[in-house]
Chains A and B, each alone.
With several copies, the nearest count.
Chain A
Amino acid sequence: MIGESMYQELILEHYKHPQGRGLRDPYDAEVHHVNPTCGDEITLRVKLGDAGKIEDVSYDGQGCSISQAAASVLHELTTGSTVEETLSVVDEFTRLMQGRGKVEADEDVLGDAVAFAGVAKFPARVKCALLSWMAYKDAVVRSAAR
């Protein structure tokens, strides 16, 4: 077992016990994203609250443990934060994932999401990890546009 194993306990935990899974009403925007190369899918809803806060992120989907766990972590990190805060987390997560294993993760910003650092070395898996996060960014833009 190597130090940087992709399957951190935390990822498996989120996979087996996903947080906030299921599609909930009401919502401001719903998006459906697919990764055509591996068939991973996610449907994701965003509900904005007061003072630029994210009131709820609800989702449903299918795919590998990385894609599913990433959605669960996303739910935890975004719900209750301001839109602005969450978008900077998304940016940091994207930077980490696209860094090909050479980027140092900022734990303060990423929290639990640092568990995905090992994924960055596998380009084919990066898309799995990013699927829900890209869907979230998309949904936020759409809900803000309403």
Chain B
Amino acid sequence: MTSTSLDVERIRKDFPVLSRELPGGRPLVYLDSGNSSQKPTAVVETVREHLAMHYSNVGRAMHALGAESTEAYESARDKVAEFIGAPSRDEVIFTKNASEALNLVAYSFGNPGNTDPRFTLGPGDEVVISEMEHHSNIVPWQFLVQRTGATLKWFGVTDDGRLDIADISGLITERTKIVSIAHQSNVLGTINPVADVLRRAREVGALVMLDASQSVPHHAVDMAALGADFVAFTGHKMVGPSGIGVLWGRAELLDAMPPFMGGGEMIEAVWMDHSTYAPVPHKFEAGTPPIVEAIGLGAAVDYLTGVGMEAIEAHERGLTAYALDALREVPTLRLIGPDSLDQRGATLSFTLDGIHPHDVGQLLDDEFGIAVRVGHHCARPLHLRFGIPATTRASFYLYNTTDEIDALVRGLHHVQKVFA
């Protein structure tokens, strides 16, 4: 049993899908929250109620429904800002997902119309990422260096699944304009040494972006304490709706960046041949934003705060300890990532000798209703690094139980029997 101040049975009742029966009478064992989380009734009902009874466009509308929608949308920004300890609410930009947030920042560099030296980029300049990144924190930077002639470099990963910072000074140099790494790996579970990276980046004047898609949902993350320049995360992994993500950035940097997409809402005034832009956050929110989705994310952070991020973290820690022990007993199971609780989250990826993860995942689902993720989890270079095409990944959240981990272990034994 995990020791925690979180009443998991009560919490499970908040998530209607968890009591659902899958076709064929299978119960649902949802161990794929690292991919996307389930939604509590509080979020679903907020979305429903707003869509049905209070909906209108925001900002531009000057009538009762417009005021209700704008108020709800901007309140969601307040809630998110408070949730992540943002120094200012205007630093919270709503995007459609974490990927858009990462692309937005990548597109800010090397724009010929912007002469701010922090955002110029060309041959000789360098961008640093890592080998454990999600594709959404790799490909935007590949695009950037392709457009500008700059160079992409990356941290390696150690055999036990840690960021290899042995040569950090050789990697992050005076030529580095930005370092963008995961706060927590979506495959290894590793929590990266942000302070070390920041220290070196500050020495050479490089900016630091964190892909916090896997940390913000699971830990109390405070922007001021963290000290990075940009942070991206995504609503659907933190019990929020799909279609909504967040970019947090330091106001003075956001002010200095060129806009990304153009359109309604992000302008101050438009003439046919030029335009001036609204202040942040609106400068980066072109067009009608994901209104109801942002409002749903507001309800999600209310829900998480209600449960308590410390309690969630402790609960997940208990589950991780339990799972690390339990998985050790499965023959031939090889964990990819740290095998201790030190600086790691509740994400466990592994292989089984001679059985392809696709078959593992599908059999677990087919026979037991256990949902895990299989494949490279949008982190193909990391899998190449470990010389494997794919892994099976179990990822836990506030609503998971040790019983579900037991079910997983039983399922893995069965899979091994089928393919024996």
Whether the pair B390, A36 counts as a contact (CB closer than 8 A) is no
- B-side contacts of A125, CB under 8 Å: 62, 358, 362
Q: Which chain A residue has the least Cβ–Cβ distance from B383? A: A39
Partner pick for A1 among B62, B75, B362, B366, CB 8 A cutoff: B366
Known A37-B268, A39-B390; contact A65-B356, beta-carbon cutoff 8 A: yes
Report the separation of the CA atoms of residues A43 and B363 in the bound assembly, to the nearest whole angstrom: 27
Whether the pair B358, A121 counts as a contact (CB closer than 8 A) is no
Q: Is B407 an interface residue (CB 8 A)?
A: no
Q: What's the nearest-Cβ distance from chain A to residue B280, in Å? A: 15
- B-side contacts of A65, CB under 8 Å: 356, 358-359, 419
Whether the pair A64, B366 counts as a contact (CB closer than 8 A) is no
Q: Which chain B residue has the least Cβ–Cβ distance from A128? A: B358
Q: Is A26 an interface residue (CB 8 A)?
A: no
Whether the pair B268, A123 counts as a contact (CB closer than 8 A) is no
Report the separation of the CA atoms of residues A39 and B391 in the bound assembly, to the nearest whole angstrom: 11
Whether the pair A64, B268 counts as a contact (CB closer than 8 A) is no
Whether the pair B269, A2 counts as a contact (CB closer than 8 A) is no
Report the separation of the CA atoms of residues A2 and B24 in the bound assembly, to the nearest whole angstrom: 4
- Tally of B interface residues using CB under 8 Å: 32
- B-side contacts of A40, CB under 8 Å: 389
Q: Which chain A residue has the least Cβ–Cβ distance from B375? A: A38
Interface string of A20-47 (1 = CB under 8 A from B): 0000000000000000111110000000
Report the separation of the CA atoms of residues A87 and B61 in the bound assembly, to the nearest whole angstrom: 31
Q: Could you say which of B22, B75, B366 has the most chain A C-beta atoms within 10 Å of its C-beta?
A: B366
Partner pick for B74 among A2, A6, A123, A128, CB 8 A cutoff: A123
Known A38-B390, A100-B71; contact A1-B367, beta-carbon cutoff 8 A: yes
Whether the pair B375, A121 counts as a contact (CB closer than 8 A) is no
Interface string of B351-371 (1 = CB under 8 A from A): 000001111001100110000
Q: What's the nearest-Cβ distance from chain B to residue A127, in Å? A: 10
Q: Which 5 A-B pairs have the closest CB atoms?
A: A39-B389, A2-B24, A36-B269, A64-B356, A64-B358
Further contacts, 15 of them, CB under 8 A, given A37-B268, A101-B71, A122-B70: A5-B367, A7-B359, A7-B362, A7-B366, A12-B418, A36-B268, A37-B376, A38-B390, A64-B356, A65-B356, A65-B419, A101-B67, A124-B59, A124-B61, A124-B375
13 chain-A/chain-B pairs, Cβ below 8 angstroms: A3-B24, A6-B366, A7-B366, A7-B418, A36-B380, A37-B375, A39-B376, A39-B390, A63-B356, A65-B356, A122-B70, A122-B362, A125-B358
